[in-house]
Amino acid sequence: MATALTASPVGLVEAAEDPRLFGLKLSERQRDLLATIEANHTVVACCGRQSGKTLLCAVTATANLLLRADLDEQAGRSARHVVSIANARDQASILLAFVAEFCQRSVLLRKRIVSQAADRIVFTGGRVLVAAPCQDRLVRGVRSSLIVLDEAGHFVNATEGPRVGERIYAALRPSLVTLGEQGKALIVSTPGEAEFFTRLHVQAAAGELPGAAAFSARTEAMNPKVDPSFLAGERIALGEADYLREYEGQFVAGASAFLDAEDLAQVVGRYAELHPDDVSEAVVGFDPAFAGDPAAAVVVGRSRADRKRLLVCRVERWAPKRSRAQRRAAKTAAEVEAVRDVVLDGVADLARAYRAVVVTDQHLSRTVVDGLRERGVERVHVQAWTGKLLTQAFTALRARVIANTIELPRDDTLVTELTKIRSRSRGGSSTVEIPRSASSHLDSALALAAAVLRIEAKTSGRPARTLSSFGPGFISERVVEEILSRPPVMGMR
């Protein structure tokens, strides 16, 4: 085969698997992607997570700079660049790290690096690899032989949101003009909220872009090393829509239901309420409100017949008794105190009856902790409903629903609230959204998720800290590793 920096171009697949160069063991679909890149001017590749996308981008970038002396001649005396843009600085640095490692390990490429900085590597002969996040100022006035947009479906910044990808692509594309058809554009990603990536993939697949090809591949096809049981766990943890997006590389638009109505129907029992003796290690999840909004408490415990199974024993709600117009008006201090006493009395009764820990969010936490302590309930935990923790809590709940290891009472309001929880993909990750209305903030669903998360945290051996009325508050953000996912799959080498 041709060696580095000869006039004859080296095939990407051949170079990737040559032990003197990259020494990679590629899957069949990874070979297909490299062959597609080699044969086309523009490639829009939509692949699942853990497919080796950035690794293959790094192979392409290194080969383009160091194995293509013919491109140096075409570029003339000017420096020749490969420009790679990623969504964030950390993502951009991954590609640089791959390229640096390739050069260090290769007997043919080892001495080609002249200098290395946080955002670029300079090679002999005036060849430069630049890798930067999409928030940085764009590289203009350079002569590029390859541009790479890594995870382009998730490009977003504070000023332009997901539309920043269009601006970056439009600004970088002209840098390929000098190289003509020998210049290449590589746009790779999992599906995200950046519409321009979706549009480019559709146009390339339809043959509407000259010299362009679309490529699609599932995680399992690209990376056979991924454990099928890991993917099965991810399907449960993420839900069908997000799983299809993240691991099947399918374009799934907009927000979707986080919990499937049919799955929920499978776990609804024949009871309205369970006796305290039916469960152990009970937790009261409490979503507080005392002014105008509803409050809710849900009791969850472990089945005494099967400790691996959770039983939702009881659901209590305290709805405002005034009209909507009256609720909009400010309550007097006496009215707020009266409502607070009724609600806290009810929560304290539940805690005592089920010998339960109470878990509540940060809203009104001091009032709740002090009020319950006055009523003899000492074990109260506070966890802040950050977006991350909210997603973790409902993910743990959904995993139990799908696995049929939780049982709900016959409570139409609770089930209806659970079906209203939404899932939305943003910036490469899926998050839970809680729709709000004048009549409900899905209080029962939130109380249930809080209780389940607290039980799972105790199972993992890392319980949340108690918020004492005498000391500072602590926020529990314990991730239930065995519920959310298995250990990440290692990078492909």
Query: pLDDT at residue 366 above 60?
Result: yes
The more confident residue out of 5 and 287 is: 287
pLDDT for 451: 96
pLDDT tens digits for range 392-413: 899 899 889 988 999 999 999 9
Q: Is 291 helix (H, G, I), strand (E, B) or coil?
A: coil
The more confident residue out of 167 and 22 is: 22
pLDDT for 3: 42
**Which strand (E) or helix (H) includes residue 316?**
strand 310-318
Average pLDDT, the chain: 83
pLDDT tens digits for range 183-198: 999 999 998 877 889 8
pLDDT for 179: 83
H-state helical runs in 354-435: 365-374, 387-403, 412-419
pLDDT for 106: 93
Amino acid in the structure at residue 255:
A
pLDDT for 181: 82
Residues 6+ apart with CB under 8 A from 143: 75, 78, 79, 80, 81, 175, 178, 179
Please say whether the beta carbons of 59 and 127 come within 8 A. Answer: no
**Residue 478 region, left (φ>0) first, then alpha (ψ -120 to 50), else beta?**
beta
Share of the chain above pLDDT 90, in %: 52
**β 279-287/429-433 pair status:** unpaired
pLDDT tens digits for range 104-146: 999 899 899 999 999 999 999 889 999 988 865 656 668 899 9
> How open is the CA angle 62-65-66, to the nearest 5 degrees?
80
Query: pLDDT at residue 372 above 50?
Result: yes
* pLDDT bracket for residue 363 (50, 70, 90): confident
Domains of the chain (ranges, CATH numbers): 12-226 (3.40.50.300), 257-484 (3.30.420.240)
Quote the DSSP letter at residue 215.
Answer: E
Across the range 466-481, mean pLDDT stands at 30
Query: pLDDT at residue 170 above 80?
Result: yes
Across the range 434-441, mean pLDDT stands at 68
Give CA torsion, residues 191, 133, 57, 220, to 10 deg: -30
pLDDT for 462: 47
Start-to-end C-alpha separation, the chain? 22
Across the range 162-166, mean pLDDT stands at 81
Across the range 59-73, mean pLDDT stands at 91
Query: pLDDT at residue 6 above 50?
Result: no
* pLDDT bracket for residue 469 (50, 70, 90): very low
pLDDT for 74: 79
pLDDT for 482: 33
pLDDT for 253: 59
Share of the chain above pLDDT 70, in %: 84
Residues for the chain: how many in total? 493
Query: pLDDT at residue 474 above 70?
Result: no
C-alpha–C-alpha distance, residues 247 and 226, integer Å: 11
pLDDT for 422: 83
Number of Cβ within a 10 Å radius of residue 203: 15
